[in-house]
């Protein structure tokens, strides 16, 4: 009986430790971009709790995209962000928020010039390191995305289709 109690205690402690260090998931969303246009790609987080800062490295095909800027997303209420292309096909981004970020949602908006031709694609690789308001490391899982370049006409059709769908959905709900 005592062995079973000790085993249950060990399992309970292991469960508590694993849930306490679950961390945050960072995702670079996939999408399409118009040839010769700019593309703003959202970076989202899931499971953030008192996230105070994060360093990200984005990698991409420099024949398809060129990093131009980054701004904070909707989750940050009191933050600063800085990013730059450190070499062709690689951008480093750092942000901090003095109030801490908790929840799920858009944390950054990364803008690229689309330099690739119609039909080209690039993976968006991401690595990330997160820190709490207490400056301790937060376990982080990073998930990349991909961008496909479409012609301007294809993008107009996609946007028109989405707009029609939104109007139809709103009419059905209202």
Domains and CATH numbers, the chain: 2-167 (2.60.40.680)
Whether residue 17 is predicted with pLDDT greater than 80 in this model: the reply is: no
Confidence of residue 39 (pLDDT cuts 50, 70, 90): very high
Q: What's the rounded mean pLDDT across residues 88-106?
A: 96
Q: What pTM value is reported for the model?
A: 0.74
151 versus 124: the higher-pLDDT residue is 124
8-state DSSP, 30: P
Return d(Cα 55, Cα 50) in angstroms, integer: 15
Q: pLDDT at position 22, please?
A: 65
b/e code 2-35 from CB counts within 10 Å (16+ = b) = eeeeeeeeeeeeeeeeeeeeebbbbbbbeeebbb
Q: Outline where the chain has alpha helix (H).
A: 2-20, 152-173
Name every residue whose Cβ is closer than 8 Å to that of residue 153 and which is 6 or more positions away in sequence. Answer: none
Residue 12 has pLDDT above 80, yes or no: no
Query: In percent, how much of the chain has pLDDT > 90?
Result: 71
Residue 149 has a pLDDT of 97
Q: 143-162 pLDDT, tens per residue?
A: 999 999 998 554 445 445 55
127 strand-pairing partners:
57
What pLDDT is recorded for position 1?
Answer: 55
């Amino acid at each position: 009986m005592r062995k079973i109690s000790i085993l249950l205690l060990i399992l309970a402690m292991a469960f508590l430790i694993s849930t306490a260090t679950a961390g945050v998931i960072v995702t670079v969303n996939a999408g399409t971009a118009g040839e010769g246009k700019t593309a703003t790609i959202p970076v989202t987080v899931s499971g953030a709790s008192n996230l105070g800062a994060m360093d990200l490295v984005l990698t991409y095909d420099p024949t398809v995209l060129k990093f131009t800027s980054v701004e904070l997303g909707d989750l940050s209420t009191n933050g600063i962000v800085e990013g730059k292309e450190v070499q062709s096909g690689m951008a480093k981004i750092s942000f901090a928020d003095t109030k801490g970020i908790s929840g799920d949602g858009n944390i950054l908006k990364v803008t690229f010039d689309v330099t690739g031709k119609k039909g080209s694609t690039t993976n968006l690789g991401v690595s990330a390191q997160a820190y709490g308001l207490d400056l301790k490391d937060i376990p982080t899982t990073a998930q990349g995305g991909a961008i496909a370049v479409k012609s301007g006409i294809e993008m107009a059709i996609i946007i028109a289709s989405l707009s029609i769908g939104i109007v139809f959905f709103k009419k059905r709900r209202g």
